[in-house]
Amino acid sequence: MQTDPVSSEAVAWHMQEPQAVLRQLQTSSDGLAAAEAARRLGIDGPNELKEAKRISPWQIFLGQFKSLIIWILIIAGVVSGLLGEGVDAIAILAIVVLNAVIGFYQEYNAEKSIAALKKMTAPLAKVRRDGAVASIPASGIVTGDILELEAGDLVAADARLLSAASLKCIEAALTGESVAVNKQPAALEQRDVPLGDRENMVFMGTSVAAGTGRAVVVATAMQTELGRIAGLIESAGAQESTPLQQKLDSFGRILVWATLGIVAMLFGLGLLRGTPAFELFMTSVSLAVAAVPEGLPAVVTVSLALGVLRMSRRRALVRKLPAVETLGSTTVICTDKTGTLTVGEMTVRSLHVGGQSYEVTGEGYGPEGEVRLQGAKPDAQHTESLLELATVIIGCNNAHLVQEEGTWKVIGDPTEGALLAAGSKAGGHRQRIEQDLPKHHEIPFDSDRKRSTVVRKLPDGKLRAFINGAPDVLLERCTALYTSAGIRPLTDDDRTRIEAENASMAGQALRVLGSAYRDLDHAPPGSLTVDSVERDLVFVGLTGMYDPPRQEAKEAVAKCRAAGIRVVMITGDHPHTAAAISRELGISSGDRIAVTGADLDKMSDGELKRIAPETAVYARVTAEHKLRIIRAWKSNDAVVAMTGDGVNDAPAINGADIGIAMGRSGTEVTKQASDMIVTDDNFASIVAAVEEGRGIYDNIRKTLQYLLAGNTGELLLMTACVLAGLPAPLLPIHLLWINLVTDGLPALCLATDPIDPDVMKRRPRARNERITDGGFLSIMVFTGILTAGVSFAVYFHTLKSGTPEMARTHAFAVLVFAELLRSFGARSATKPVWRIPLSGNLMLFAVVSVTFALQVWSHHNDTLARLLKTTLLPLPDCFMLLAVGTIPLVVLEGLKLVKKSVEA
């Protein structure tokens, strides 16, 4: 009877010897038989990541109708239509549709995270079947297959190495570590080994930088580490309402109950007075229209859309509209280190040769930068020493640097790419070395020797071996020392000095390599063994490298601190490197060490919640750890933004309140999981986006106050007349005109006001802070009383000497004029109107002027008069009503001066 191989779940493959793994998976080093592979494929299914259910365009469109205020408007529109008020119904429903169209346009780019992950998997893979190597579609790989790996390959499944020759893999997308990982087949002793330290495993979606290897597949499809991340993305993707959505929905519920309460009270009062039921019903509809700010959804949506446009100019592309405002309320930014706070490319920062230390400037693999000695360019006596070291680090190197679309990239090992760039800055020439010193033999790097050697032929026919490796191991095999005065024997004091310099570089979080050489007599390559070549070496110098912080990141972190925003570094890199970079950027201070993934595995969610506010750096973490950290902060009521570029960042980005992906270095997976993409991979652009978000929230808040104060005035005016037993002062069409045109258009202009320059000097808003706090409501009600008061006075005065139609026309006109003038003062809660530059919002001035002209014209044009149900209003009366309409603005501006003098 055919038995099935053991499930890969919960098996510590890295602890087992290769032969034990083969036995457990019921395979051999010659691979599976084709028939057996087909059988396993039928049981386990194809080696493909499960694709998430797509969100259809209709679902996105219908999602725009979730807001309670939108449903209030829909009901108001339907009721207006049933009552024969066709114009009112069309106007209300047009606003609803416009709001939905704008929101749909912004969010049409549906979630494709899992689909993007599929693009990272290898389309073809080399496997052994029936004892022979064959290229097959990666989807056909099964557990027990034997993979043949070489430089440039994309790994098609998770596999345990059986053999390896100088094998190095780039796992940055999975672990966040930018250095290529050396691979070897020996079993590891510990069970709980971080993903980035499993040297005998290769993982789906990573790539081979150098060397060759053979590995047995232990997991496919969703059972791989990449598959686990795909599952995390799905589980993290439950969409939560943004702070603004929550506040507006809460406000909408309050508005509904308040309106229903007032309408019910007045309806009952009317019945007691004997008012006809139909008349009461029409008055109730008018009151409901007066209470609901019909322009609010459109104003909020359009202001967010305008914010998207402004952010794009600051290199931030917003994929999901509500994310604009969420950014403004961010209290914590959790950021990946590699490629976000740092350049994401290994860079040599320090050289030590001839007893002298040199600084290397520039970032990444490009030629920009130079070697400096005490801040100045070295003189001629130092040039020879630098050239000697440059010749070794270039001569023992298999990487290549290429320029693509203006960016320098490395083909091969990133560490060797960094050495190549530094060697060029130190005076070395790759082409000249290849031409004058052709390669004769190579002894590749392996993790046991911790060094690599390239033997080159000298012009005189002799050989020279160039060696790079771990300084401590290399120093043991050196007997001589290169100095600026020549070569001399290596003394114990020399060794002590070199070891101290190595320790000093390592203490700065630099990865240190030693360089040496040895001259040999000519010999055939076959006779050049490790033991015969790598001894009696001449020690040349040390090279210190790291992934440097972005120049602008430190300033951006300081800006976050001033704005009350906490920056937390989460990385797959080593703890000491992470801690050093965080101190350099100002994220952490003192000697605090990073919390590691192994530490997190020992913590419960409750313990993590407790330590999260005190922890600034996490290192050696996986995608799952990052998601746990995000959730711990959210459980502390923080509004969390997560930034990153690798696949390992995607679940946390999807699970954060606001997910931010890097546009240049970011994987497609991360971009599709994000709410916003930073196009220049600059942490400073994220902070600029936060600033925009805060400004947008401020504008939405003052716009909301302007609209609600107008609605309050209308509601108070209608209520006062009902209580006084007077005819309705405004008809539903008047209220709609005021809400949509007189208030709505200026409100749109208020939403585009310039951002307050001091916005990043304030503490962030709490998640539970109400958008309508006590100060907001008191100003809203006071403003409503003022506008209702002047309108009621005009209406009552005209009603005594004229017809109800004339009185309505006067009340309508004075209310419109008061609202238009009040928009100028609404631009600031503290500055008087004459101290707010009109040039900052010329569109508001234009809109108010046009609306004022339109209002006057409506009283002199028969078509508009019939539409708005108004009577003729002579020009002198218009100017008299305009003068009365200035009263609310004058009083409110006076109140600002009083408050300022009291505070002073």
- Six-digit token pair at 79? 């009721």
Alpha-carbon gap, residue 470 to 455, rounded angstroms? 18
Residue 270, classed as helix, strand or coil, is: helix
Sequence-separated (6 or more) residues with CB below 8 Å from residue 499: 471, 472, 475
Vertex 150, ends 144 and 151: CA angle to 5°?
Answer: 140
- Six-digit token pair at 334? 């959790």
Sequence-separated (6 or more) residues with CB below 8 Å from residue 69: 248, 249, 251, 252, 255, 292, 293, 296, 297
Alpha-carbon gap, residue 719 to 703, rounded angstroms? 24
Alpha-carbon gap, residue 789 to 714, rounded angstroms? 10
Q: Which of 439, 441, 466, 593 is nearest to 541 (CA)?
A: 466
Q: What interhelical angle do 804-825 and 774-801 show, nearest 10?
A: 150
Provide φ and ψ at 243, rounded to 5°.
-55, -40
265 torsion bin: left (phi>0), alpha (psi -120 to 50), beta (else): alpha
The enclosing H or E element of 489 equals strand 486-489
Alpha-carbon gap, residue 161 to 184, rounded angstroms? 7
**Amino acid at site 589:** S
Half-sphere exposure of 170 (CA within 13 A, CB side): 24
Residue 331, classed as helix, strand or coil, is: coil
**Amino acid at site 482:** Y
Provide φ and ψ at 604, rounded to 5°.
-80, 170
Q: Which DSSP string corresponds to 742-783?
A: ITHHHHHHHTTPPPPTTGGGSPPPPTT--SS-HHHHHHHHHH
Strands of the sheet with 617-619, listed across from one edge? 316-318, 676-678, 658-662, 640-644, 332-336, 566-570, 617-619, 595-596
Alpha-carbon gap, residue 342 to 484, rounded angstroms? 35
Catalytic residue among 336, 494, 645, 675: 336
Beta bridge partners of 268: none
Residue 428, classed as helix, strand or coil, is: coil
Confirm if 197 and 191 have CB atoms less than 8 A apart: no
Confirm if 859 and 742 have CB atoms less than 8 A apart: no
Alpha-carbon gap, residue 586 to 594, rounded angstroms? 14
In the block, which residue shows the tokens 């119904």? 89
- Six-digit token pair at 556? 């951006």
Confirm if 295 and 312 have CB atoms less than 8 A apart: no
Q: Which of 462, 461, 501, 463 is nearest to 481 (CA)?
A: 501
Q: Which of 510, 644, 642 is nearest to 576 (CA)?
A: 510
Alpha-carbon gap, residue 29 to 23, rounded angstroms? 10
Q: Which DSSP string corresponds to 832-861?
A: -GGGS-GGGGHHHHHHHHHHHHHHHHHTT-
Q: Which of 867, 716, 874 is nearest to 795 (CA)?
A: 716
Confirm if 807 and 728 have CB atoms less than 8 A apart: no
Q: What interhelical angle do 553-562 and 683-723 show, nearest 10?
A: 30
Confirm if 462 and 521 have CB atoms less than 8 A apart: yes
- Is 753 one of the catalytic residues? no
Which positions are catalytic?
336
